[in-house]
């Protein structure tokens, strides 16, 4: 018999040696299916209630999986990321940020402009963020803790982030692996802000206001300025930048 996909458990054991059959099954699973979380063995003379079995499995899927199970699963894998996968992940989970604001340094007011790419994930998936960090060769994870420790991962806040300020590497990557959603529009604005800063546009008041307006049109601002959201939902967004003392772009008021 041709075993093209290497998914058949073929052995020369006789039917009467059921204990050896089970041993062969265990050996097969241990060698080829280490990620398996559930195994059900049955024979042709046993009635299986597939409906109840599906309900049982359903109760262990998606959000019902425990933190420990999710963290342990990723830590059994040798993650080898491909650029296309990273491109899609940034498209879905990434956020291109540009912080523009004044700060005091030795009694002097200095305009600070910082461009970052940030990717957030639940802390049980922090190994994915670390794999992205290793792929790019720069950046850091926050908050800082021992990501190889399950207990440490459970103690920190629920969301961990990969953050990088290396705009040169990120722009080179995204220019080669373009995104397909409106996230790419945010990237183009982010890239424009980098170029404007490089041209010292921020050193004039007019240029600074121009950069702030570009920034306001990114991320949540793009939704507010589009027809994607109905007006009733747009009212849930309060622009914090219009409130003295607040430097965040937007606040969402969820009732």
Percent of the chain with pLDDT over 90: 49
Give the pLDDT confidence of 1-53 residue by residue, as tens digits: 455 555 555 555 444 445 677 778 878 887 877 767 777 777 777 787 888 88
Domain map of the chain by residue range?
18-64, 83-218
Give the pLDDT confidence of 110-149 residue by residue, as tens digits: 888 999 999 999 999 999 999 999 999 999 999 999 999 9
Please give the Cα distance from 146 to 43 (Å, whole number). 46
Q: Topology of 83-218 in CATH?
A: Endonuclease I-creI (3.10.28)
CA count, 13 A, side-chain hemisphere, 207: 15
Look at residue 128 in the predicted model and tell me its pLDDT. 96
Packing angle, helices 183-198 and 83-93, rounded to 10: 90
Look at residue 3 in the predicted model and tell me its pLDDT. 55
Look at residue 228 in the predicted model and tell me its pLDDT. 57
Please give the Cα distance from 139 to 169 (Å, whole number). 11
List, in sequence order, every residue forming a beta bridge with 102; answer none if it has no partner.
111
Q: Evaluate the omega torsion of the peptide bond into residue 143 and state whether it is cis, within 30 degrees of 0.
A: yes
Please give the Cα distance from 219 to 184 (Å, whole number). 10
pLDDT score of 225 more than 80? no
Top mean-pLDDT range of 52-56, 82-86, 202-206: 82-86
């Amino acid at each position: 018999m041709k075993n093209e996909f290497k998914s058949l458990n073929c052995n020369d054991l006789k039917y009467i040696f059921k204990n050896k059959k089970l041993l062969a099954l265990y050996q097969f699973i241990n060698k080829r299916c280490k990620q398996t979380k559930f195994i059900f063995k049955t024979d042709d003379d046993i009635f299986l209630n597939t409906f109840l079995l599906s309900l049982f499995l359903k109760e262990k899927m998606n959000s019902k999986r425990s933190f420990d199970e999710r963290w342990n699963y990723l830590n059994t894998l040798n993650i080898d990321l491909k650029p296309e996968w990273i491109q899609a992940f940034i498209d879905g989970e990434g956020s291109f940020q540009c912080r523009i604001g004044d700060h005091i340094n030795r009694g002097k007011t200095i305009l600070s402009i910082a461009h970052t790419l940030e990717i957030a994930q639940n802390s049980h998936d922090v190994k994915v963020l670390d794999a992205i960090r290793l792929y790019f060769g720069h950046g850091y994870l926050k908050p800082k803790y021992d990501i190889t420790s399950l207990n440490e991962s459970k103690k920190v806040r629920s969301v961990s982030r990969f953050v990088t300020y290396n705009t040169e590497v990120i722009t080179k990557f995204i220019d080669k692996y373009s995104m397909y959603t409106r996230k790419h529009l945010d990237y183009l604005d982010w890239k424009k802000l980098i170029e404007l800063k490089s041209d010292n546009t921020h050193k004039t008041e007019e240029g600074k206001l121009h950069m702030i307006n570009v920034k306001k049109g990114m991320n949540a601002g793009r939704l507010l300025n589009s027809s994607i959201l109905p007006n009733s939902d747009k009212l849930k967004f309060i622009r914090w930048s219009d409130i003295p003392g607040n430097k965040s772009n937007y606040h969402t008021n969820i009732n």
